[in-house]
Homo-oligomer: A and B are copies of this chain.
Amino acid sequence: MNPRLYSFAAGATGPWRILSTKAVRGESLPSSTPTTNRLSLLPGEAKGEAAWTLRGVRSNERYATAAEKQKLAAVQEDLGRAEADFAVLIPIRKSAAWWALSQDERRAIFEEQSRHTAIGLEYLPAIARRLFHCRDLATEEPFDFLTWFEFAHDHQSRFDQLLARLRATREWSYVEREVEVRLVRVG
């Protein structure tokens, strides 16, 4: 097992309760029911029955420069903070056109044009974020990335602002599937 592999499993148990599942672009994920509205984020492969499972690996940065990485490291906080009672899972798939771009072209769209890291930085440390990569798994995955955000419930409107700003960028024109799952901590 890759020690950087994590699974999100929706089902009967788990410390997070799904409040809403919304298709932002393309197909949604299965809607939760009273018996499948819990979510777990687990290291490794999810075991047992699940309404749906998504997997991804934590990996090296693809775009951040040393200076950006240092700025992020100076202010970001880890997952699991006591005050972080809200979470949002955003699975995303980008288009073939995005992946056909060269590294410098993707970087230019990601940061110089879309200010992805710079925008995210403005919301740290309040909104903790962790990225998981799915595109290079051996199985065919429905998404390229899974991003998990954790924050205190009184930061919801700031989070909505962060999302709106990112979705208005040129980078987002390459997003062909996006789902937004909102959760509250119950365990």
Contacts and interface: CB of A to CB of B under 8 A. Distances in A.
Copies in the complex: 2
B138 A5 contact: yes
A104 interface: yes
A29 interface: no
Interface in A1-51: 1-5, 45
Interface string A58-71: 01111111101100
A4 B69 CA distance: 30
Interface of A: 1-5, 45, 55, 57, 59-66, 68-69, 99-107, 133, 135-141
A138 B1 CA distance: 6
B103 A64 contact: yes
Contacts of A2: 136-141
A64 to B, nearest CB: 6
Contact of A102 (B64, B105, B140): B64
A55 B103 CA distance: 24
Determine which residue in A45, A69, A104, A133 has the highest number of CB atoms from chain B within 10 A of its CB, and name it: A104
Closest 8 CB pairs of A and B: A65-B104, A66-B102, A136-B136, A69-B102, A60-B99, A57-B136, A5-B138, A2-B140
